[in-house]
Amino acid sequence: MIDLINAAETISKYLKVHTSPLSIKYYSNSKDLPTDVRRPNVFGVKMAFCQINTIARKWGWSFAVTPEDINCVAALMSFGWGDLAGDLNKEEELINFRINAGYIKDRDAAKKNLKKASSLMDEKKFSSRGLIVSPLDSGVIQDPDVILIYGNPAQMARMIQSMIYTEGGVIESWASIGASCVREMIAPMIENKAGYVIPGRGARQLGMAGDDEMVFTMPAGKLENFLTGVKETHEKGTKYPINQFLFFEPKFNKTVEKLREKIKLVK
């Protein structure tokens, strides 16, 4: 089993991310969640996953989460934790929601979007009734299912290259009108592949993701390959911060050049 504390140290050393990498562990029965891990309900509020993830990565807290702790519509439906009442037409409700919320212009565009956002229409693909979100090095989760790392675009480039270094292929991104938690937290398990995600409106409004922040996500089973890629690509010269090429003679505007011509070097 990979040492998660050392993994977090490697990520910090080579990628210099500003917040803690996160580990996620799913439970098929909420009764199996450990009782000594903080629940969002201790604050007397229900939350969205993007909020919980931000507290975990910035404050270093761990959370045990069940459907009763979440009030985000997209999360409840995508995680299979909630559904519309049986007498309602699910497709119509979701189309109308997209239009009324100002996400999409008209029904035709909404239908096309909904068709691609299959997680909202087929949540049975994924079955869990609880999860833990925790900093990777906290020791709370020993065998995570998913790893999340937040970073800026340059750090994303390093993470993408690190994974490709050992696994080949390409790393793909998938974006929609929101529900970025689905691509971050569920997709890696279902698809068994890494990806990178642009946080949506909710993640930036409620989860307060920074303007320059993106998320690299992977199944935990790929973490060892990822870390190998991080270290070996660094050793081969691809580093963060990126080593910029500076060995060139700069050119200046005419005013500067005219003054330069009047300068004599002191010997």
Task: Give residue 201's pLDDT.
Answer: 85
Whether the predicted pLDDT of 91 surpasses 90: no
More confident: 253 or 103: 253
What does DSSP assign to residue 108?
H
Residues of the chain with pLDDT > 70, as a percent, come to 97
Q: Among 8, 66, 58, 9, which residue's Cα sits nearest to residue 37?
A: 66
Structure tokens at 51: 């909020």
- pLDDT at res. 197: 95
User: Is pTM beyond 0.95 here?
Assistant: no
Q: How far apart are CA 267 and CA 262, in angstroms?
A: 16
Nearest 10 degrees: Cα torsion 179, 184, 186, 189 = 160
Residue 118, pLDDT score: 57
| pLDDT (tens digit per residue) in 6-57 | 999 999 999 999 999 999 999 999 999 999 999 998 999 999 999 999 999 9
What number is the average pLDDT over the span 239-261? 94
Per domain, the residue ranges of the chain are 4-80+126-235
d(CA 36, CA 41): 14
pLDDT tens digits for 119-140?
544 445 567 899 999 999 999 9
149 by DSSP, 3-state: which?
strand
139-152: pLDDT as tens digits: 999 999 999 999 99
Which of these, 176, 174, 138, 150, lies nearest to 17 by C-alpha position? 150
Buried b or exposed e, range 150-183, using 16+ CB within 10 angstroms: bbbeebbebbbebbebbeeeebeeeebbbbbbbb
